Amino acid sequence: MTTAGLDPLAAFRVDDRVAIVTGATSGLGERFARVLAAAGASVIVAGRRADRLGRLAAEIHGVAVPGDLADPDAPAALVDAALARHGRVDILVNNAGISHIESALTEPSDEYRRELAVDLVAPFELSRLVARSIIERGGAGSIVNVASVWGLVGVGQIPDAGYAAAKGGLVNLTRELAAQWARQGVRVNVIAPAFFRTEMTDERMFQDERARIWMGRRTPMGRGGEEHELDGALLFLASPASSYVTGAVVPVDGGWTAV
């Protein structure tokens, strides 16, 4: 068997595809947008901070669509903007998320509902809007949901019942949508990261010595993740490299959920 002309990395390219990335104003979402753009996609970035979003869009030659996914009208506005600009969406990365760390005994119900709205309901709305557009044009596409180890196990010592409930729901929503749409060309998978340094986690987890020691002891690899360590999982699930993969849960957690 000859290897002439064989390029295994070509399957990870997303040239000429259109991608939406939510929660792209900082952290993992910003990184996801840059990675997809570098791999050839035209990227629509969404988030609440218009100034940051605009700068990112300019740098990656993408399109910025500011908005708050807690607003029930925001998902449709985002998908409509993408379709108006490019005529289609091939990749959706449901990354936007919020957190409210507080004991379940005292967490206000309004905060719990807001977490569910942003972390679970909005991904559902975006997923079905994108899936409809893909199915109607007879195409193929990939939805990548970003959950968390909170969606797979309880953490307890960092109490956030709303986040855990939403991410757990997102994991099984992924499986259900994957099963519903598998024969219609839409793949749905989920990444479940552990602790990565972001705006949300930097001060509380990475700059706090006690938290850093706790995280290291609990994680078999002894450390939190670096942002580039999600690149491979993202490109695998978003690209044709995973053309026979749907409904998969991919923990990127340093072994957190293995023990």
Q: Catalytic residue positions? A: 163
| Cβ(133)–Cβ(79) below 8 Å | yes
| Cβ(41)–Cβ(18) below 8 Å | yes
SS3 string of 61-115?
A: CCEEEECCCCCCCHHHHHHHHHHHHHCCCCEEEECCCCCCCECCCCCCHHHHHHH
Dist. CA 245–CA 90, nearest whole Å: 16
- Tokens describing residue 8: 């295994």
| Cβ(174)–Cβ(188) below 8 Å | yes
